[in-house]
A and B are shown apart, each in its own frame.
Chain A
Amino acid sequence: GEDVEQSLFLSVREGDSSVINCTYTDSSSTYLYWYKQEPGAGLQLLTYIFSNMDMKQDQRLTVLLNKKDKHLSLRIADTQTGDSAIYFCAETDTGRRALTFGSGTRLQVQP
């Protein structure tokens, strides 16, 4: 079945850039997503990219997609302490409406 993999933990200093990586196996993925989850909270949709795009930028967030390598990344510029959270990569395809999530990357931002 489909699989989405993420590294477990990333620590950065406030003001630095953060890069969170994700790999997936489904070659028919249509949309790829990044969600943010803060402690005790639900999932907040940050951004998503359609599979025919290579890059999407939204304010401090930049998503890069390498479809050949099935690799997705999320770059957060000027990382702030409020960015500390768990970030989930997810994918879906046109044949399956449900999202398949990775296990999440915990981002810790040190002042």
Chain B
Amino acid sequence: GAGVSQTPSNKVTEKGKYVELRCDPISGHTALYWYRQSLGQGPEFLIYFQGTGAADDSGLPNDRFFAVRPEGSVSTLKIQRTERGDSAVYLCASSLDNTEAFFGQGTRLTVV
């Protein structure tokens, strides 16, 4: 596709469950970022991939959060033992040159 695609667009899960959020970057973009946006706030950085490797995971809040990008394209953000405080919009962005980052529509995660 032409832009960054994120699935699902909405996810409702019960507290304690495991969730996976998927990001398809723009074709050819080697850099991929995950951000989290809470209501009324700007996005906050979670993790950055350059190719297959996580170049910077300093934004992951705790060890319940993990992300992979095994083939250097699609990425999956995984959250274990979800908590109500994890409810937010999870945004993915990709970039060709680390100058312009293009964002997907986001996945709205609601933990009940």
Interface size class of A (residues with CB under 8 A): 20 to 34
Question: When chains A and B are docked, how far (Å) is the Cα of A20 from the Cα of B73?
Answer: 36
B100 within 8 A of A: yes
How far, in angstroms, from A4 to B106 measured CA to CA in the complex?
Answer: 22
Bits for A86-107, please: 1 = Cβ < 8 Å to B, else 0. 0010100000111111111000
Among residues of B, the one whose C-beta sits closest to the C-beta of A89 is: B42
Chain B residues, Cβ within 8 Å of A96: 56
Does the CB pair B31–A42 fall under 8 Å? no
Hey, which chain B residues are within 8 Å of A90, CB to CB? Answer: 42
Contact B104 A97 (CB under 8 A): no
For the complex, is A77 an interface residue (Cβ under 8 Å from B)? Answer: no
Please tell me which one of the listed residues B40, B100, B105 contacts residue A42 in the complex, with CB atoms under 8 A apart.
B105
Please determine whether A48 and B103 come into contact, CB atoms closer than 8 angstroms: no
Q: How far is the CA of A88 from the CA of B91 in the complex (A)?
A: 14
Q: Is A10 an interface residue (CB 8 A)?
A: no
Alpha-carbon distance A90/B103, docked complex (angstroms): 14
Contact status B91-A48, CB under 8 Å: no
Residue of B31, B91, B99 contacting most chain A CB atoms (<10 Å): B99
Interface bits A76-92 vs B (CB < 8 Å: 1, else 0): 00000000000010100
Known: A42-B91, A45-B100, A101-B43. 15 other contacts (CB 8 A): A41-B105, A43-B91, A44-B103, A48-B99, A88-B42, A97-B55, A97-B98, A98-B59, A99-B43, A99-B101, A100-B45, A101-B44, A102-B42, A104-B41, A104-B42
Residues of B within 8 A of A (CB): 4, 31, 33, 35, 40-45, 48, 50, 55-56, 59, 91, 93, 98-106
